Homo-oligomer: A and B are copies of this chain.
């Protein structure tokens, strides 16, 4: 409020612009929920009481809006998982943190199914995700890998083939700045990434409707899977 008076006029315009961008994205997110990934610029503009061409002041094309939504989505999910993980007081209790993080993923997905589908569902036809998204995309698995590194008990014995170890080492190295103490041997790296994939499987299977008419006790089912994966990791 008071800031307005101190700020130079240029910043006001910049801030209004930023707020507009936020509102466009938020309206677009609402549309994702009903229309899936065939997001319509005109519908978004309509909802905002603007003419469709006005949106081009903010996003050079529909794909750029989609990209912004995807990056935001990955970050929102990552933040939710980090927050879930952070609720565990004892930072050395890997198993508790694993449950907290896993449940946070599922809770986020159930709360925003369309956004989850945009991130993890079938690729949008004709849309090519730019490089900007990959950093944000790694935020969630990063949390899970950090938890996997806490494993105390011996993990499930695995001997990943050399080619795979090379791939995974590359990823972990790229994360080294963010994840300093990577005391993950190849086996644990492989297990950690696999646990993430299988977790994704559990969430997607439920969210994409494959559990319909089959399993109703979904919380319990998910927790059971979390437990199996924790065992797998040696947490």
Decide if B221 touches A164 in the complex (CB within 8 Å).
Answer: yes
Q: Which of A36, A201, A208, A227 has the most CB of B within 10 A?
A: A201
Decide if A224 touches B190 in the complex (CB within 8 Å).
Answer: yes
Residue ID in chain B nearest A198 by CB atoms: B198
Decide if B231 touches A156 in the complex (CB within 8 Å).
Answer: yes
> Which chain B positions have C-beta within 8 A of A227?
158
Distance in Å: Cβ of A126 to nearest Cβ of chain B: 8
In-complex Cβ contact of A224 among B37, B158, B200, B202 (8 A):
B158
Per the 8 Å Cβ criterion, residues 34-66 of A in contact with B are: 34-38
Q: Report whether over half of chain A's contact residues are helix, strand or loop; otherwise say mixed.
A: helix
- The interface stretch among A2-10, A12-20, A116-124 is A116-124
> Which chain B positions have C-beta within 8 A of A161?
217, 220, 224
Decide if B225 touches A197 in the complex (CB within 8 Å).
Answer: yes
Decide if B197 touches A202 in the complex (CB within 8 Å).
Answer: yes
Q: A158-B224, A232-B228 are in contact. Are A208 and B164 (CB under 8 A)?
A: no
Residue ID in chain B nearest A127 by CB atoms: B36
Q: How far is the CA of A145 from the CA of B221 in the complex (A)?
A: 17
Kindly supply a per-residue 1/0 record for chain A positions 201-235, scoring 1 wherever the CB is within 8 Å of any chain B CB and 0 otherwise.
11011001110011111001100110110011000
Per the 8 Å Cβ criterion, residues 103-128 of A in contact with B are: 117-118, 120-125
Residue ID in chain B nearest A217 by CB atoms: B163
Q: How far is the CA of A202 from the CA of B205 in the complex (A)?
A: 12
Decide if A228 touches B156 in the complex (CB within 8 Å).
Answer: yes
> Which chain B positions have C-beta within 8 A of A164?
215, 217, 220-221, 224
* A-B residue pairs in contact (CB < 8 Å), sample of 11: A36-B123, A121-B208, A122-B208, A123-B209, A160-B220, A163-B216, A168-B215, A191-B228, A194-B225, A198-B198, A232-B232
- Beyond A161-B220, A167-B221, 9 extra complex contacts between A and B, CB < 8 Å: A37-B122, A121-B208, A129-B209, A163-B217, A164-B221, A197-B201, A197-B210, A201-B205, A228-B232
